[in-house]
Chains A and B, each alone.
Chain A
Amino acid sequence: MIFISLLVAGMLGAAIVACILKDLLTAVIASCVVSLIAAILFFFLQAPDVAMAEASIGAALVTAVFVIAIIRTNRYEE
């Protein structure tokens, strides 16, 4: 239970960091952390199918798409 509470706290923290930061690359990595912790939480909620989809799509592919978009545009938000 303590472990899950810590995970939820970390997820909230990463989500807030992703919203606040002006450095978009760090924000994308923070949103990747949100997806990763969400995948772990789905696993604890006995939904391994969803956890797998969240880990591979949310944490890997979406992050890659965002990073490619940042390469094409600016790294810092004005």
Chain B
Amino acid sequence: MRKIFSLIILGILAFGIWYSLKNIPFATHKTKVGKYYVYKGIKETGATNIVTSVVVNYRGFDTLGEVTVLFIAAIGLGAILATRKKKKRKEIEKPSLILYTGCYLLFPLILLFGAYIFIHGHLTPGGGFQGGAIIASAFLLRYLGCPERKINRKASDATESLGGLIFVLLGLLGLIVGGYFLLNFLPKGVPNLLFSAGIIPIIYIAIGFKVGSELAGVIDNLIEESK
């Protein structure tokens, strides 16, 4: 009886979603704001990747909120795990030779790839969040492959704070120079070049470092507690 009831509710929900979405054509200009971003975005912000120009420039304040949410989540996790009693650490099992060597060879390459993703965030797909997550996955591989080497928590916390600070300070500089928070006050340059799009690459590099060190810290917290 309960299963039939839940199936009926699910059916009603699915019908509602289908009915509300069936008249929306994808990949066409239905809204004016999307059209505006697509045609005026490159000229106004200098960033070839329109997603980046929306995330960092047009909706930069929302991105600051997102970064803050991630920061609060990482702090909350650290606070919850820190109140637990520290157990005696078990002896770590040595990883196999293949995992160890693979970790050694792949770790710098994955870091380089993550850095490429967030430095080129205004030119190619990707950006600070994606690059930061890739860097954190490099640290995850390191924790699995070479467990005797740990990240320096003080350095990662300092990097995290510095990233957030650069973001907010750039926003405040925009407020001082032009009267808007996160105003793109640097010269836009020529689109498609690495040094273009004003403050967008600087903000994305700061976000990349911040997200990477934050997620690496989360992984460090979890793995240290699970031993």
B222 touches A53 (CB 8 A): no
Residues of chain B within 8 A of A72, CB atoms compared: 225-226
Distance in angstroms from B186 CB to nearest chain A CB is: 23
Report the interface size for chain B: residues with CB under 8 A from the other chain: 23
Report the interface size for chain A: residues with CB under 8 A from the other chain: 16
Q: Mark B106-134, 1 if CB is under 8 A from A, else 0.
A: 00000000000100000001110110011
Interface residue SS majority, chain B: helix
Q: Mark A8-32, 1 if CB is under 8 A from B, else 0.
A: 0000000000000000000000000
Q: Which of B134, B219, B222, B225 contacts A56 (CB 8 A)?
A: B134
Q: Chain B: residues with CB nearer than 8 A to chain A? A: 26-27, 49, 51-52, 117, 125-127, 129-130, 133-134, 136-137, 140, 215, 218-219, 222-223, 225-226
A57 touches B140 (CB 8 A): no
CB contact list, A44-75 vs B, under 8 A: 45-46, 48-49, 51-53, 56-57, 60-61, 64-65, 68, 71-72
B223 touches A61 (CB 8 A): no
Residues of chain A within 8 A of B215, CB atoms compared: 61
Besides the known contacts A49-B52, A61-B219, A68-B223, 7 further A-B residue pairs in the complex with CB atoms under 8 A apart: A49-B126, A53-B133, A56-B134, A60-B137, A61-B140, A64-B219, A71-B226
